[in-house]
Amino acid sequence: MGGLGSLGWGGCAGKTGGWQVEAPSCGTPATAIPVTPMSKRLFAPVALALAGGIVSSTVSCRDHIRVSAALSPALEVAADSQAHAGMPDGARFTPAFVGVAYNEDEGTSFSVPLQVGTCYTFGYASDETVGRVSLYLFTPANHRADSQRGGAPQGVFRHCANENGIYRLEAKVVAGAGHFVVVGYAKAAPIVVTPVVVAPPPVQGIDELIARQAASAAPGAQRVGDLFVGTGDQSDWYTQLNAGACYWFIGAGDPATVSSLYMYLWSPAMQRITENRSDTPMSMVGYCATVPGMYKFEAKLNKGKGTYKVGVYAK
């Protein structure tokens, strides 16, 4: 049997060749043991006895990372400061989660209850011997919900929960070694206001457009005959006007296809009396006749195509 080697909770950790070298402090005699899956996991104070192959040596900490035996109270203060700065209007909802890594890619998992409609900021702080930290968050079903990889030794990790339950928060040292502390702050998630989409009014038929315009522009006037219907670039019609009566020629095109409609009116002697070059699907001209006879009126598509109609109203 070889001698009995002592491994301390704190101290100096390093590797040389195929050996894992452990010493309670820098520059003190150390025990060198073969690196095996079992020996790699001996982090707590233990007494290890191995048959043969145990040698003693003195280890310098120049090229190795010394993990302090005790947790610095300043780490919780720093972690809380990080979380508060990241969520100043939040409230702390966790105790201090404490972990230690003696080698790279070692971490600790913590259980945290999260709720839908709440956002969380986890502040963390590490020993000076820690170089980079990664954080992972897993859902109650153990699916990864979020992650932040290779961050600074101090910082924040944010997440807004999409389901209720106990989540698993894992903090891992990916460069260096040492202690770390994580604390959590929470606040209600911002209310997302869904804009109310107001449906546009239904497209009115051409007949209804003309009737509404007549009621507005010539209240009390009565339509003379049926509506005149056109589909080409322009259409001409004739109608009888009586002296002493006033008339409104109201035209409208299909709003879906017509954007500009012109209206013209001629006397029985074929002299142009009035016109309206409208930039809308509706156009109207009015005239109070002084001479009876057959008058010509015309509707012309300026922009667009499709059906248009004209109603003649008299009063």
DSSP string, 89-151: T-EE-S--EEEEESSTTEEEEEEEEE-TTEEEEEEEEE-TTEEEEEEEEE-TTS-EEEEEEEE
60-74, 133-147, 167-181, 236-250: which has the minimum mean pLDDT?
60-74
Distance CA 139, CA 114 (A): 9
How many CB atoms neighbour CB 149 within 10 A?
A: 11
14-28, 76-90, 165-179: which has the minimum mean pLDDT?
14-28
State the pLDDT confidence band at 229, using cuts at 50, 70 and 90: very high
**pTM for the model:** 0.46
pLDDT digits (tens, 9 = 90+) for 163-186: 999 999 999 999 999 999 999 999
Per-residue confidence (pLDDT) for residue 198, from 0 to 100: 66
Number of domains in the chain: 3
Both 151 and 114 in one domain: the answer is yes
Q: How large is the average pLDDT for residues 127-153?
A: 94
Both 95 and 179 in one domain: the answer is yes
Both 78 and 29 in one domain: the answer is no
Of 25 and 310, the one with more pLDDT: 310
**Residue 273, SS3 per DSSP:** strand
- Residues 35 and 16: beta-carbon distance below 8 Å: no
Q: Is pLDDT of 30 > 50?
A: no
- Our CA angle for 153, 155, 158, nearest 5°, is 135
Distance CA 32, CA 23 (A): 9
Both 169 and 213 in one domain: the answer is no
Contacts of 30 (CB under 8 A, 6+ apart): 12, 21, 22, 23, 56, 57, 58, 59
152 in a structural domain: yes
Kindly give the residue spans of alpha helices, DSSP state H, lying in the chain.
Answer: 37-40, 74-86, 206-217
193 in a structural domain: no
**Residue with the two structure tokens 């002084």:** 290
201 in a structural domain: no
Both 176 and 212 in one domain: the answer is no
pLDDT digits (tens, 9 = 90+) for 269-301: 999 999 999 999 999 999 999 999 999 999 999
End of a domain among 50, 66, 82?
66
Both 155 and 216 in one domain: the answer is no
Distance CA 116, CA 286 (A): 66
Range of the structural domain that residue 150 is part of: 74-188
End of a domain among 16, 34, 66?
66
The CATH number covering residue 147 comes to 2.60.120.380
